Structure 1
Amino acid sequence: MYYRAAAERSAAPLLLRVLLVPLPKRDGPGNWFLAPVSSTLIASREPSPLQETLIMQTFRNCHGRPAMSCLTMTLALVTGWTKNASSVSAAELPDTGQVSQVKSLILHSQLVPGPVKVAVLLPPGFDPQTQSHKLLLWLHGGGGSSAYLKRELRPVVEAAWARGTLPRLVVAVPSARRSFYMDYRDGSQKWETWILRELLPRLREQYNLRQDPAGTFIGGYSMGGMGSLRIVFKHPDRFAAVAAIAPAIEPVFAFEHITPFDRAYRNNGIYETIYGDPVDRGYWQVNHPPAIARDRIQILADSGLKIYFEVGDADSLGLYRGGEFLHHILLKGNVRHEYRLVHGADHEDATLPSRLTDAMRFLGRTIRSQNAEESWQAQARVQVTAHMRRYLQLFNQQQPDVIAREIYGAPVLLPAPGEEVPALALTTPSVRERMIELFRVAKSNGWKRSVVHEMRTEVAGADMAFVTMTYSRLRAAGEAIPPIRRIAHYVLATTNTDPRYLSAKDRTDWGWRILSVASQPAAHVPTPQAIAEVKRAMHGYLQLLNAKEPHKIAEEVYQTPLMIRGLQDDAPRGLLTAAAAQTRLAGILHALTQKGWHKFASHGMRVHMIAAGLARIEMSSSRLLKDGTAMPPAHTPFSYLWVKRNSGWRLVGVFGHARLTVPADP
């Protein structure tokens, strides 16, 4: 869940700068006083504010050391930062004839004091007319500004572009003063609202950026790390990922429990300006990232949000305490995240460029995974759409033999004409017989052909797809047979990349095949209440699984016949009775228990309401051991098909699908 990485330091000559550094000295336990110390540093260029802070912090850690030793340490740290952060661009960017550009926006708003300067990094060859880029919104630390982009972040991002570890995207850094990126309690400043309502829309419009959450990333350092976590925990549906470096968060849930150690770097005035005077403790709590995570833990677990944060175990502000605190909250709540405790790293030191580089690698992995999925989905949607159009053509031609052999893949769950409970066709000949019966019943009602009004295709993982079709059955004269419009939901699988289903002798090229069909009249409109009911049913199913009660699940959750498509070597199969379902599930739970399984944890639950009584849930789950670690594979994606019956929502299909392979870091 986290690891300790060796901190990197380097030394190089430094030239020019005179600083008066306040040197803290200990005067008894817990007592400090400042002594001015003059030190002449010869530098070749003006140090940044971050470098000046680094010098001061190094001197603070020099108690009892000779003055020259302290100076040597400071020079090594500052020049290490300078070498790592500023030389990487020229050394690593290839000569392509194109360079990145830094633009500056000046924004005015009634939500925050203005004007607000926003620095924007455009990748080499940026052309808003030919491509909609993704956006990384990066939030600077306390006392910083938009200048952080050009001085500290740009070299790291450009190096990541050059190495191929981060796909090209637009990076923006707004100047937010020491606002915590908060909506102030008194309403005088509303930075969080400004970011969401004005800054993001303006950036998207100005540079033709992606409008969707999958195209929007957020991150930050220190105060910005805290702000990015707070915003994304409140609004996980608006971002794809967050990356926070040394987030400035206190390791408590209640304001009154903050110790002097954990607030030494924040005076009362800061808290009172933002959270009210006196501090509104309730307002602080609802804006405190660990408390938000605790109170919204299931929402975060279900969101699919990619979360990365890290902190140094030598952080002079003690922020490793807040990092560990948040890590264990997310770990306990089964929220997928990547957490790093960096050995020997301070809050601001020579390790920051490499730590920023690691954050960019995380974002790069996330984006490459998205790109691979989007590319596969585009290809799969074309294939599935062609498959379903061919099905419609064969259906109107009344070709049951070809449909059974080339469109469906037995076993198949099919609607039974005139019955509420679907039927299970276990073999290709039985699929053919079902299709013949379907044609007979339809023609007895005057059916001549079917027309499709709308078809939506969704792709899941590497080998599954779902098609929702709105259609009508027409008589010879063209009038529709009631119900006028119908909805059919199809579950399809492909074995183009997975030969485990090529068992039947007549399947030499399986391709996409339909595994399940569910239908309802289109007049039934889903309601928010139905969505809540389906979620409760799913959580109830998970609770019964963790309680190891296959009998209750078979009787109270499953609707037989049931279609199951598992993982690895488990081919699609149909279970005709509750007893068969119970036996099957009991065997699975027993085998898992023998391997040390303790419970299931869900991630990224998404409910798709197809009709008033028909829903599909997409969810990834982990099989956890007693110590909380996951059995391999760490995350297994499934789709669950639910139907509404008189007894409540019942599960009629469980479909495991393969994960896409994500390209490794270059």
Structure 2
Amino acid sequence: MRRLFRPLIAFLYCAATLAVAPRAAAAVGNGATAGVTTAGGSMVQSRSLRSNALQRDWSYVVYLPPGYRADGPRYPVLYLLHGNNDDAMHWVTQGRLQTTADTLIAHKDIPPVVIVMPQGGTDWYVDRKEKIETAFFTELLPTIETHYAVSGDRKNRVIGGVSMGGFGALRYAMLQPERFCGALLLSPAIYSTEPPPQSAARHVGVFGERQFEPDVWHALNYPALWQRYLSQPYRLPIFIAAGDDDLVIQAEASTLYTHLRAAGNPAALRIIGGGHNWDVWAALLPAALKYALACTQAGG
């Protein structure tokens, strides 16, 4: 009998949420589909935009901090990219982002911030299967800056990601460092040589037409951007972290950290107990947010 009631309870909860949410969400921006508030006053919205680059509707999730006002001061904005087997809402449901951000803001550990989490599918955030990198820079950023009270200045924009999203976040940070003042990378899938056999990068049809092509991987991975990044006048503080059981990833994270510090680039490294999962990433998120968002308070 208990098993029969669980689906009914879940259905009624979702129906109630969707019934009350649109009124709160529709006041801001385009395409609101749902809003969830908390006792702390923050809100999470699921929204979408029509993407010409992707030739389809593109959905994303937005966290609005407690006390958010569309007609108030401009907020810093953080873009978080999810991993290969996840979706954007997992930052909230698995990573506890909403409660974590609420707590950090209440304790004044981070400023009130708008957090945007786009759906990345299995595109690895590069212009291969779809033009998702183009869509990010030419459509998502302008849409967020039009429909939300966020700053369009580099000193108030931060990028981050987990696993596949860490690959994308590091690529975006090094490709266009003039856009961001900081970055956070949780268990980033940034294999400096080639992905191991079990990596999704070899099997999702992004880095090769029919099978994995090493040349494509190397052309899109961060080492190919290293000299270009170092030639720019910008240095992003980068928070890098992984679980100690995630052997290849934590080794790659340590390598990146060493290279950044050797080049005089601010960086922090955290290795904690655990593997490649949301238990680790949720535990790392408070420190990651505090480090990466510090640049917005320091003026970038």
| TM-score clears 0.5 | yes
Answer 1 or 2: which has greater helix percent: 2
One-letter amino acid of the counterpart of residue 132, structure 1: R
8 Å Cα contact 1:113/1:189 also seen in 2: no
8 Å Cα contact 1:179/1:274 also seen in 2: no
CA drift at 1:341: 2.4
One-letter amino acid of the counterpart of residue 310, structure 1: A
Report what 2:99 is aligned to.
155
Matched ranges for 1:501-580 at <5 A: none
Q: Deviations over 1:168-219 (max 9, x none)?
A: 01011111111111110xxx51111110000000000001321111111111
Q: Pick the aligned partner of 2:134 from 189, 193, 198.
A: 193
8 Å Cα contact 1:250/1:321 also seen in 2: no
8 Å Cα contact 2:42/2:98 also seen in 1: no
Q: Deviations over 1:28-76 (max 9, x none)?
A: xxxxxxxxxxxxxx9xx98xxxxxxxxxxxxxxxxxxxxxxxxxxxxxx
Report what 1:333 is aligned to.
263
Q: Deviations over 1:594-621 (max 9, x none)?
A: xxxxxxxxxxxxxxxxxxxxxxxxxxxx
Distance 1:303 1:128 in 2: 30
One-letter amino acid of the counterpart of residue 308, structure 1: F
Cα distance 1:268–1:169, how it changes in 2: closer, same or farther (>3 A)?
closer
Q: Deviations over 1:269-312 (max 9, x none)?
A: 32x4344345554432231023322x335236x31322111112
Distance 1:240 1:103 in 2: 25
The answer to whether the aligner puts 1:299 opposite 2:228 as a matched pair is no
Q: Deviations over 1:431-482 (max 9, x none)?
A: xxxxxxxxxxxxxxxxxxxxxxxxxxxxxxxxxxxxxxxxxxxxxxxxxxxx
Distance 1:242 1:303 in 2: 13
8 Å Cα contact 2:78/2:157 also seen in 1: yes
8 Å Cα contact 2:177/2:229 also seen in 1: no
8 Å Cα contact 2:84/2:200 also seen in 1: no
Identity %: 24
Structure 1 or 2, whichever has the larger Rg, is 1
Higher RCO structure, 1 or 2 (CA under 8 Å, sep 6+): 2
Aligned residues: 267
Q: State the superposition RMSD in angstroms.
A: 2.6
One-letter amino acid of the counterpart of residue 305, structure 1: L
Report what 1:315 is aligned to.
246
The answer to whether the aligner puts 1:207 opposite 2:148 as a matched pair is yes
One-letter amino acid of the counterpart of residue 366, structure 1: C
Report what 2:188 is aligned to.
247
Cα distance 1:114–1:358, how it changes in 2: closer, same or farther (>3 A)?
same
Distance 1:119 1:145 in 2: 10
Report what 2:75 is aligned to.
133
Distance 2:207 2:54 in 1: 13
Q: Pick the aligned partner of 2:292 from 352, 355, 363.
A: 363
Report what 2:126 is aligned to.
182
Distance 2:230 2:295 in 1: 22
Distance 1:285 1:197 in 2: 25
- Runs of 4 or more above 6 Å deviation: none
8 Å Cα contact 1:210/1:216 also seen in 2: yes
Matched ranges for 1:402-441 at <5 A: none
Three-state SS of the structure 1 residue aligned to 2:56 is coil
Distance 1:329 1:230 in 2: 15
Report what 1:287 is aligned to.
220
Unpaired runs of 5+ in structure 1?
Answer: 1-15, 18-41, 47-89, 253-257, 374-666
Distance 2:230 2:262 in 1: 11
8 Å Cα contact 1:111/1:191 also seen in 2: yes
Distance 1:298 1:214 in 2: 19
Three-state SS of the structure 2 residue aligned to 1:118 is strand
The answer to whether the aligner puts 1:101 opposite 2:43 as a matched pair is yes
Q: Deviations over 1:568-627 (max 9, x none)?
A: xxxxxxxxxxxxxxxxxxxxxxxxxxxxxxxxxxxxxxxxxxxxxxxxxxxxxxxxxxxx
One-letter amino acid of the counterpart of residue 241, structure 2: E
TM-score, length basis structure 1: 0.38
Answer 1 or 2: which has greater strand percent: 1
The answer to whether the aligner puts 1:223 opposite 2:164 as a matched pair is yes
Q: Deviations over 1:242-269 (max 9, x none)?
A: 11111011132xxxxx37xx23132643
